[in-house]
Chains A and B, each alone.
Chain A
Amino acid sequence: MVTVEADVANGLPSFTVVGMPDAAVSEARERVRAAIRNSGFEFPLRRVVVNLAPAERRKEGTGFDLAIALGVLRATGQLTRDPEALCLAELALDGTLRPVRGVMARVRRAAVAGVSTAFVAQANAAEGAALGAETYGFTSLRDVVEHVEGRVRQAPSPPPPPATRPPHAVDLADIAGHETPKRALEVAAAGGHSLLFVGPPGTGKTLLARAIASLLPAFDPDEAIVASAVHSVAGLIDPERPLLGARPFRAPHHTASHLALVGGGSPPRPGEVSLAHGGALFLDELAEFSPSVLDTLREPLEEGAVTLSRAGTTATYPARFTLVAAMNPCPCGHAGDPAEQCTCLPDAVDRYHARLSGPLLDRIDLRVHVPRIAYEELREDGRESSRTVRERVIAARDRMSARLAGTGRTCNAELSVAEVRRHCRLAREAETLAAEAMRGRRLSARGFHRVLRVARTIADLGASDEIRTSDLAFALMLRAQA
């Protein structure tokens, strides 16, 4: 929270903004001066000093315009009452209020600090109202003054209509064959486990990955606010319907830089991992991403958040997402393809896979081969629709959130080690298999815990309290060993 103070004193006419303003904030002087004059007020021909407190923090963006203008008007007596609200809007030269980015995140922060009223531009009003804050949307500086003076009171903006789930682009019923990849997708959607599809080009890896959007359950209101706030900071929300209707599905191109992926810049803006918070992040052609960019994914995958530190500012954005990735089995793409012969040398294939570092692969719980499918399978009927699978996913998620109630976490991929020990109880025969698997496959303790989390999800999908042998065997099968 930044407090704007203004002082008008005798002296040569000047207008200074102090308190570490950046270029956009310094330029506010010209906008404020013009907006005040063009709104029918008088800009004082005296010495005007505006202070943005706390002074040691760097101030960025154009959202201070309204507060500075109101401060100047209050100091010159043209406004006789304090606004007592979060004032957040950019001014046009004619005094019109313009929307700014990140209103949702700031209104939320202000509400925590005890300021539950917000004055914003009309186009931003829905964002504040969606949070339940008393938000007023104004069209001009004049309207704000009239409202504060109590001459023409405006009504607070009504909460926007609840977001509706948009129709999803891909339904599981559209995809022929691929039973195991579909099961893996269901497990990933239910437990939030990361998933890698490997297969020749044109076999439907991308289509499968996109289908995860249709399997994820709807947002609960709190999650929707957190995710929407991140999108608001990035300026990516629909002003009419600021709350996200469906869980996000983000698919950055493989030329993405690490700034684009995890966020950055000054001021730090959220990256794709944060925009995918609560939903899925899809990395197509995983091996084509620059290895250093992929390695930056390790922190968000582990922590569920990204902290960006830049000169003078630090920002933490949430980043709990389900990673879905796809890649070819080799540089030419045809290894294991019955339709076409692979032309790669074995060393080239090894190098291709070595582009994914061990630590990243270790964090991928499910690795599934997507084969080219036969013509007979294309015609096969009786495919499950996304709706049927989603109902199973929702039932499994209900079991998970009941188990994790009060921890702030919602799915099995986020179970801590202690919780794995407590909740992932193995049936007696499954114990034997687990012991053998640890020995025979040389699983690390971390790898074993990841298998247990996946097995827990598979048991949840089967509505079982105990992890049965078949659940564990399936989890081990889906986690291809490297």
Chain B
Amino acid sequence: MIRVEPSDPDYPSRLRDLTHPPDPLWIDGDETALVARSVAIVGTRRMTGYGERVAREIAGWCAAAKVVVVSGFAQGIDSAAHRGALDGGGRTIAVLGEGITLFLATVRGRRPLVPRIRAGGALVSQYPPSFCAQPWAFAKRNTTIAALAEAVVVIEAGEGSGALITAGEARRLGRPVFAVPGPLGSVASAGTNALIASGEARALVSAAALLHGLGLRGPAAVASPADPILDALSGGDLDADALRRRLGVTEVELADQLMRLTLAAQVTQTLDGRYRRR
């Protein structure tokens, strides 16, 4: 773990845009990731299946374009973004709201991601290594995420979600802000839809718009699947009966098609036995 101050030449220059840049900053991993091209992907901890898929896909596009994904390593969207970037062969930076040493000692469910993140990217914190998590610390961490990235994507955020702090700070710094439109009435998409409605964020409907803003090329649009099962699953997880009713196929046909998609790793089953598009 290294410690850098704003006066150091190694200090991530984009952080100097903040009125009060983190001083000092602790970095555990590869510090070159902090000066590479980067996009922040943030969102609610209470994500839906839709949010998880979109977070993974967008992080995957960034990874393919060699853009580092910055996020907060919280449960939900943050973790899905880190995982998507790593699965796509990319690098990712986790900005923590607590001390790095303390975090490593206490993290449970997301522990398997830690060595993968450190391999090409880094864990970053503006708090001393054994600093215990405080509610206000996460709000300050969110502004650091906004400054560290060149653009911010909010996938799903409820009213008052911390991801909205990141979006607000990014706007103040003049960084482009994107929000992924969600279904009306979904609590998890209330904040992102409001961002789009008020004009504070651009609706993100393709990777090209995001990457074009960084001067990079990406796929033109989110691929719309031709397969009716994948299409039916794009709105969220469904169980076998719901799929069968929607597609009007027999049990045998459905089992056969689902098996084909599962083996092609396009569909997985959730812990409660429903189907999820990957």
Contacts and interface: CB of A to CB of B under 8 A. Distances in A.
Interface string A360-373: 00000001110100
Given A179-B244, A336-B270, A437-B259, A345 B251 contact: no
Interface in B211-261: 237, 239-242, 244, 251-252, 254-256, 258-259
A180 B259 contact: no
B270 to A, nearest CB: 7
A473 to B, nearest CB: 4
Contacts of A137: none
Interface residues on A, range: 35 or more
A152 interface: no
A469 B75 contact: no
Interface residues of B, number: 33
A345 B264 CA distance: 29
Interface stretch (A34-42, A65-73, A474-482): A474-482
B75 A473 contact: no
A162 B239 CA distance: 44
Contacts of A482: 271
Contact of A199 (B45, B75, B76, B272): B272
Nearest to A343: B46
Interface stretch (A261-269, A272-280, A346-354): A346-354
A179 B269 CA distance: 18
A96 B271 CA distance: 60
A345 B109 CA distance: 12
B259 A473 contact: yes
A83 interface: no
A198 B240 contact: no
B263 A369 contact: no
Interface centre among A336, A345, A441 (most CB of B within 10 A): A336
Contacts of B237: 336
Contact of A436 (B79, B255, B263, B274): B263
Nearest to B239: A369
A47 interface: no
Interface string A419-456: 00000000000000100110011000000000000000
B255 A477 contact: yes
Interface centre among A179, A343, A473 (most CB of B within 10 A): A473
A178 B271 contact: no
Contacts of B258: 473, 477
Contacts of A346: 45-47, 75-76, 79, 109
Contacts of B47: 346
Contacts of A349: 271
B242 A474 contact: no
A335 interface: yes
Contacts of A180: 239-241, 244, 251
Given A367-B273, A371-B239, A371-B241, A433 B251 contact: no
A198 B256 contact: no
A482 B272 CA distance: 9
B161 interface: no
B159 to A, nearest CB: 13
A336 B237 CA distance: 7
Interface string A115-137: 00000000000000000000000
Given A177-B241, A180-B240, A336-B237, A440 B46 contact: no
Contacts of A345: 45-46, 75-76
A469 B240 CA distance: 18
Contacts of B79: 346
A183 B46 contact: no
B140 to A, nearest CB: 22
A198 B273 contact: yes
Given A470-B252, A470-B255, A353 B271 contact: yes
Given A198-B273, A369-B239, A440 B252 contact: no
A11 B121 CA distance: 95
A341 B239 contact: no
Interface string A192-230: 000000110000000000000000000000000000000
Nearest to A440: B263
Contact of B259 (A342, A353, A477): A477
B265 interface: yes
Interface of B: 45-47, 75-76, 79, 108-109, 187, 237, 239-242, 244, 251-252, 254-256, 258-259, 262-265, 268-274
Q: Which are the 5 A-B pairs with shortest beta-carbon distances? A: A369-B273, A198-B272, A329-B272, A369-B239, A440-B263
16 contacts: A178-B241, A181-B241, A198-B271, A329-B271, A344-B46, A346-B76, A349-B271, A351-B109, A369-B272, A371-B239, A371-B241, A371-B242, A436-B263, A437-B259, A477-B259, A480-B270
Given A345-B75, A368-B240, 4 more contacts: A179-B251, A353-B271, A371-B239, A440-B263
